[in-house]
Amino acid sequence: MKRICVILAALCLAAAPLIAAPADQNPGYIKMALVNMKSVYSDTPDAPANRANLQANLKRHAYFIDKAAAGGAEFVGFPELSVNGYHFSPAMSWLSLDGPEVKVLRDKAIEKGVYVAAGIAEVDAGGKKWNTQIVIDPDGRIIARHHKIYLTKEQGFTETGAEHAVFDVKGIKMGIATCSDGSDRKNLEALVANGAQLIYGPHANTTGGTSAGWYRFRAAWAGPDGWIAGLKVYAALHNHAGLYGSEFEPPAAVDGNTGWASGSWFIGPDGRTLAQMPASTDRADSKEFLLVYNVPIPAR
């Protein structure tokens, strides 16, 4: 009798229809959304306030992931140290990759079926601290972790990264250059030597508090004689925002400018600007922004 049941179960499994993987709605491309988000800080002497600020930042991440995914985005990127806010002190709230904050992002990636890139102040299993940009895939797996190499305000608080890892995002090979990493062409060259077809650059820059200032700061990347054209890759780079965007359901009625310049930019392999947040010399325009571009996936 037991043998008959086993045979019947096997026949039922064989007869059951296979569940097909969802069809790619955007074949040959990856639709990337770059978020210029305003983050509050998690390094104050007030530990409960820091925890509240982390939750506020995560809520803001969830809002933008929902909005970008509703528009068809497949990759949603956030700036350098977006979860913690870019501000270092001895009271910094350090996060682990297996902690609840990162789990919120992993769960959201699964819920929306998108890649999510975000920045955290990481403490690893050995107790070392890093300025880390992670990338999570639609199954909730952390597929990339970049430790910032060229340190600025985090110097003395974090370790120095050394790797130029490249990873796959929907068939395109991507590498990360966090903020000042992108000020040395050698870092970009190392990523390309490792196979990168797209360089992703999350930033936290003030540059006079204006997007126009930030575009000047990164001018070497663009144009027919620029770094990106010389390397023949795509680039996607963006920055923190100093102000909330009124069209993005700001969480605070009263908003003070934190000085971040905002700005986001897609550059093609010929150095041409593919998409860009409008440049402004007015600090009042350094607001949150959502820039979306459908990046072609290069042939291998």
- 0.85 exceeded by pTM: yes
**Does 112 fall in a domain?**
yes
Cβ atoms of 114 and 159 within 8 Å: the answer is no
Q: Which residue stretches of the chain have pLDDT < 50?
A: 1-18
- Asked if residue 5 belongs to a domain, the reply is no
Query: Is residue 14 in some structural domain?
Result: no
- Asked if residue 11 is part of any domain, the answer here is no
What is the predicted pLDDT for the residue at 8?
39
In a domain, 6, yes or no: no
Residue-wise pLDDT tens digits, 128-163 = 999 999 999 999 999 999 999 999 999 999 999 999
CATH number at residue 97: 3.60.110.10
3 inside domain: no
Q: Which range marks the domain in which residue 147 is found?
A: 27-296
The pLDDT of residue 226: 98
CB neighbour list of residue 179: distance below 8 Å, 6 or more residues apart: 80, 148, 150, 152, 201, 202, 203, 204, 205
253: its two tokens: 């009625």
Specify if 120 maps to a domain: yes
Q: Which helix (H) or strand (E) holds 127?
A: none
Whether the CB-CB separation of 126 and 94 falls below 8 Å is answered with: no
Distance, in Å, from the CA atom of 127 to the CA atom of 113, rounded to the nearest integer, reads: 32
pLDDT tens-digit series, residues 246-295: 999 999 888 999 999 999 999 999 999 999 999 999 999 999 999 999 99
Counting the structural domains of the chain, the total is: 1
Question: What residues contact residue 56 under an 8 Å CB cut-off, 6+ apart?
Answer: 40, 251
Which residues does 130 contact at the CB level (< 8 Å), separation at least 6?
A: 121, 122, 123, 124, 147, 148, 158, 159, 161
Residue 4 lies in a domain: no
Per-residue model confidence (pLDDT) at position 11? 38
Q: E strand or H helix at 46, and its extent?
A: none
